[in-house]
Amino acid sequence: MTTSALPVLTAFEQSPDGGRGLARDMRVRWALEEVGQPYELRPLSFAAMKSAAHRALHPFGQIPTYQDGELRLFESGAIVLHLAERHPGLLPAEANARARAIAWIFAALNTVEPPILDLFNAKVLEREQPWHRQRLPLVEERVRQRLDDLSARLGGADWLEAGFSAGDLMMISVLLRLRPSGLLDGNPALGAYIARGESRPAYQRAFASQALPS
Amino acid sequence: MTTSALPVLTAFEQSPDGGRGLARDMRVRWALEEVGQPYELRPLSFAAMKSAAHRALHPFGQIPTYQDGELRLFESGAIVLHLAERHPGLLPAEANARARAIAWIFAALNTVEPPILDLFNAKVLEREQPWHRQRLPLVEERVRQRLDDLSARLGGADWLEAGFSAGDLMMISVLLRLRPSGLLDGNPALGAYIARGESRPAYQRAFASQALPS
């Protein structure tokens, strides 16, 4: 393990999405850009991700991981929360508002993302299975239910709570994984919400950094 | 909305698991017992969970929610983290150790629980579907992969980091949802880990409180 003056983030050497910004390192890059924290990127091959050395950092052999001095973190939610707690800009100062912004991080990861992961499994991993075509509408319906609930809550607001927070960063990152499916097309309010996230300069810097060949 | 001197937790009036402690209020009850915070339980019917009044508390119409004075929280992960941050006993004091314990909360909710939810969907919601029998081994294999990785990391240790934390509380709560499937039977190390959690007096008090008819 080399030492580095900057925090080190791991990401796919060859992202399966071909640089569309849908891998889980992107949400951490976005948070790093929002708080103005420079970092060193360490790209990993699929073989390296499953190595014992990397599993010491990430027990499930995935990306991203984050190392800052003695601190070694895994899980994009934990890394984003860590950054949001240690830098201004991603969480409100008032305690209750802060707790609510953090609740949206969890809602993104534990309520909205699971059916989206299931949709990915259905569309990619189970594409050749005999049940693929018949099962897909059922999986899509579970995603749509979450989108409807989220859209109803968002209403005409710009962000989920009073101002942009790590909760929006995570929710938008999770929703973006749906873009290739077309399921967002039927929901202009969520489409506009995602576009507001993407138009942030920090998002654009993060996207550019991952879209470039490493 | 009535006011209450104690924090108010919502839970199923009739839990679909019949009181086996597998619903998401159980992890919050366990955390409340660990930190010694008394609370008022508000049981909700399925109809009440989908009401506009409850959706004001929980945008996705689910349980649990947590109200403490002006604070209104949803998402079991957010509520457990909130309690762990405000009371001693569920997070280490040292900053890096604290961040790692929090990372395990996220690992439980975003890496381990999604395939477990998918297994639940496969076994319960898709039980009558024509693909049920053929697809089940594939879903079980995804769960088993997570269990193997988790088990390898745990090794012979009692807890995921130096001492019991909110990360263990959440991981054990998530793993318990697997018990009816029999998938834990092949993994004695994880079985012992779960049993260590269940033997904690706080877990037992929480379990007893949800097993009783409300």
pLDDT tens over chain B, length 214 residues: 555 589 999 999 988 888 888 899 999 999 999 999 999 999 999 999 999 999 999 999 999 999 999 999 999 999 999 999 999 999 999 999 999 999 999 999 999 999 999 999 999 999 999 999 999 999 999 999 999 999 999 999 999 999 999 999 999 999 999 998 999 998 999 999 999 999 999 999 999 998 865 4
Show me where the domains of chain B are located: 8-89+202-211, 95-200
Instruction: Enumerate the H helices of B108-200 as residue ranges.
Output: 113-120, 132-154, 166-176, 188-198
CA distance linking residue A71 with residue A83, whole number of Å: 12
Q: Domain A95-199 carries which CATH code?
A: 1.20.1050.10
User: Cα A79–B151–B192 angle (5° rounding)?
Assistant: 120
B190 Cβ under 8 Å from any chain A Cβ: no
Determine the residue of chain A that is closest to B155 in CA distance.
A59
Segments of chain B assigned E as strands: 8-12, 40-44, 65-68, 71-74
Tokens of A60: 């499930």
Contact A114 B114 (CB under 8 A): yes
Question: Closest to B110 (Cβ–Cβ): which among A77, A129, A150?
Answer: A77
Q: What is the predicted ipTM?
A: 0.95
pLDDT tens digits, A19-33: 888 899 999 999 999
Quick one: pLDDT at residue A2?
Answer: 53
Contacts of B86 (CB under 8 A, 6+ apart): none
Quick one: pLDDT at residue B152?
Answer: 96
C-alpha distances (whole Å) from B59 to each of A160, B25, B52, B64, B190 are 11, 16, 9, 12, 34
CATH topology of domain B8-89+202-211: Glutaredoxin (3.40.30)
Of chain B residues 97-136, which have a CB less than 8 A from chain A? Answer: 99-100, 102-103, 105-107, 109-111, 113-114, 117-118, 121, 126, 129-131, 134-135
Quick one: pLDDT at residue B20?
Answer: 86
Q: How do beta strands A65-68 and A71-74 pair?
A: antiparallel
Contact B107 A75 (CB under 8 A): yes
CA distance linking residue B136 with residue B84, whole number of Å: 37
Question: Closest to A107 (Cβ–Cβ): which among B75, B114, B146?
Answer: B75
Quick one: pLDDT at residue B15?
Answer: 84
CA distance linking residue A104 with residue A109, whole number of Å: 9
CATH topology of domain B95-200: Glutathione S-transferase Yfyf (Class Pi); Chain A, domain 2 (1.20.1050)
A56 Cβ under 8 Å from any chain B Cβ: no
CA distance linking residue A113 with residue A117, whole number of Å: 6
Question: Closest to B77 (Cβ–Cβ): which among A62, A79, A110?
Answer: A110
B92 Cβ under 8 Å from any chain A Cβ: no
CA distance linking residue A143 with residue A117, whole number of Å: 10
CA distance linking residue A111 with residue B185, whole number of Å: 28
B156 Cβ under 8 Å from any chain A Cβ: no
CA distance linking residue A21 with residue A15, whole number of Å: 9
